């Protein structure tokens, strides 16, 4: 299983980040595009109390099916195993036929940049402020890239998008956006999220 080494920085100005990336000679590999995903939590996972899930994601240029485990909220706390599949909607139907109905359908927008062997993504999700994620092969490469782009390491956030929802909606009574059945840009903020800070 692959360890993800990644950090998020919140409430960013995308134009400012793009200017810094261009000045650092980073390459935009994929412009901003709509992504959609379904999150599945099999019953045996909930029963064991594990923080794991199955994610099917249409990334714009490919569709991936990923098993993710979040062992802790740290730079290296996420692990994943992924394969590419040919069709998002048909895979949803296959999973349903196997008794694996999705818990949450989620939309986001993402732009992907590369700086050496480090990937920087500009992420936008419904109902929260824009953020970036820096993922690299080593802790040092992620920290160096964050510093090069002008981010304070002490403000880094680790974990899934749910961690950001919990920060922006501190009165959240559930686990995060994973407990919202439909997460779409055109929808109003659901009551389950509570009040935003």
Length of the chain in terms of residues written: 197
Cα distance between residue 110 and residue 61, in whole Å = 12
For residue 1, give the nearest of 81, 59, 60 by alpha carbon.
81
Specify the higher pLDDT residue, 45 or 193: 193
pLDDT digits (tens, 9 = 90+) for 60-84: 999 999 998 888 878 888 888 999 9
- Residue 162 tokens read as 């749910």
| Per-residue confidence (pLDDT) for residue 46, from 0 to 100 | 64
pLDDT digits (tens, 9 = 90+) for 104-158: 999 999 999 999 999 999 999 999 999 999 999 999 999 999 999 999 999 999 9
pLDDT digits (tens, 9 = 90+) for 6-36: 999 999 999 999 999 999 999 999 999 999 9
Q: Is 88:102 a contact under the CB 8 Å cutoff? A: no
Q: What's the CATH architecture for 2-193? A: Beta Barrel (2.40)
| Per-residue confidence (pLDDT) for residue 184, from 0 to 100 | 96
Place 174 in a pLDDT band, splitting at 50, 70 and 90.
Answer: confident
- Residue 141 tokens read as 């490469």
Using CB atoms within 10 Å of the CB of residue 85, give its burial: 0 to 12 exposed, 13 to 18 middle, 19+ buried: middle
For residue 17, give the nearest of 88, 112, 137 by alpha carbon.
112
């Amino acid at each position: 299983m692959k360890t993800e080494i990644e950090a998020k920085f919140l409430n960013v100005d995308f134009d400012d980040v793009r200017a810094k990336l261009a000045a650092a000679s980073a390459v935009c590999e994929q412009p901003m595009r709509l992504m959609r995903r379904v999150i599945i939590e099999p019953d045996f996972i909930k029963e064991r109390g594990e923080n794991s899930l199955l994610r099917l994601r249409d990334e714009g240029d490919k569709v991936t099916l990923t098993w993710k485990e979040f062992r802790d909220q740290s730079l290296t706390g996420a692990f994943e195993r992924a394969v590419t599949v040919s069709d998002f909607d048909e895979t949803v139907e296959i999973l349903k036929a196997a008794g694996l109905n999705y818990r949450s359908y989620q939309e986001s927008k993402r732009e992907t940049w590369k700086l050496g062997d480090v990937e920087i993504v500009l992420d936008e999700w419904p109902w929260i402020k824009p953020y970036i994620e820096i993922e690299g092969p080593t802790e040092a490469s992620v920290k160096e890239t964050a510093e090069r782009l002008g981010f304070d390491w002490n403000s880094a956030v680790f974990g899934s998008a749910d961690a950001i929802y919990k920060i922006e909606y501190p009165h959240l009574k559930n686990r995060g956006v994973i407990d919202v059945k439909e997460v779409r840009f055109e929808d109003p903020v659901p009551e389950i999220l509570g009040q935003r800070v």
